[in-house]
Amino acid sequence: AASSAFLDGPVFVGEITDECSKIDINSLVKEDGEPNNIRIEQLKRLFGILNIDITEDEINDLIDAIIDWLDPDGEPTDLGGAEDDFYQALDRPYVCKNRNMDTIEEILLVKGMKKEYFYGTKDYEGISKYITVGTGGKININTASKEVLMSLSDDIDDADVEDIMDHRPYKSIEDANKEMHSVTSSQVDDLITVKSKRFKVEVTASMPSGANLVLTAIIDRSSGTPKVVYYKIH
């Protein structure tokens, strides 16, 4: 949703985005530190849906490195993984975090993650608008994009996505399942929700001089009272 306000001087434009409509990168690792294969496959499908120019070996290595960035141990995951030894050997060294990401931009620090995968190119979209952190992992089927819906399962087809989007909003997961004819409820029920608890608010102030000021904030209302968990002014 977007709105604008015209005042004497700056022009303000605001937009609210549902973060629960996206894939939570932190969900690639379970709470016990083990890889979450269902979410890993979902991220791989997203790369394919967006036609990102990446080979199978490259995406497998990237996934291994993301897992190592998130999991608590210091052991590399297979040959593509990376822990402190790799990052400390860089020209500008830093440590492997070994815990959840705080922002989506943090993924750019991970071995194998190229800027074009994140931001996109003239030939394909990047993953940045389809990923998030801090939602707990479940995706709101009422607000998810076509691309994210397609990534839920190999068996979801265009007809399913069209039916899902045409009949939104849903009050329950059971209602949504009625529109997913190519998959069983057991395949997606643990991945989706019909409610949201985290939102991104972005306000752009356009100055008479031509300069722009952008405020981005993440609002979490999981505790009942909305709380700012992150903000940036740029």
Domain boundaries, the chain: 24-128
In this prediction the pTM is 0.90
pLDDT band at 193 (very low <50, low <70, confident <90, very high): very high
pLDDT in tens, 132-152: 999 999 999 999 999 999 999
168 in Cβ contact with 142 (< 8 Å)? yes
**DSSP state, residue 124:** S
210 in Cβ contact with 83 (< 8 Å)? no
Q: Give the tokens for residue 210.
A: 């031509």
CA–CA separation, 55 and 103 (whole Å)? 26
The more confident residue out of 66 and 179 is 66
Q: Which CATH number fits domain 24-128: 3.40.50.300, 1.10.40.60, 3.30.450.40, 1.10.8.100?
A: 1.10.40.60
Look at the alpha carbons of 138, 140, 145, 149 in this order and tell me if their dihedral is positive or negative: positive
Query: Average pLDDT of 171-185?
Result: 80
Residue type, 58: E
pLDDT in tens, 21-76: 999 999 999 999 999 999 999 999 999 999 999 999 999 999 999 999 999 999 99
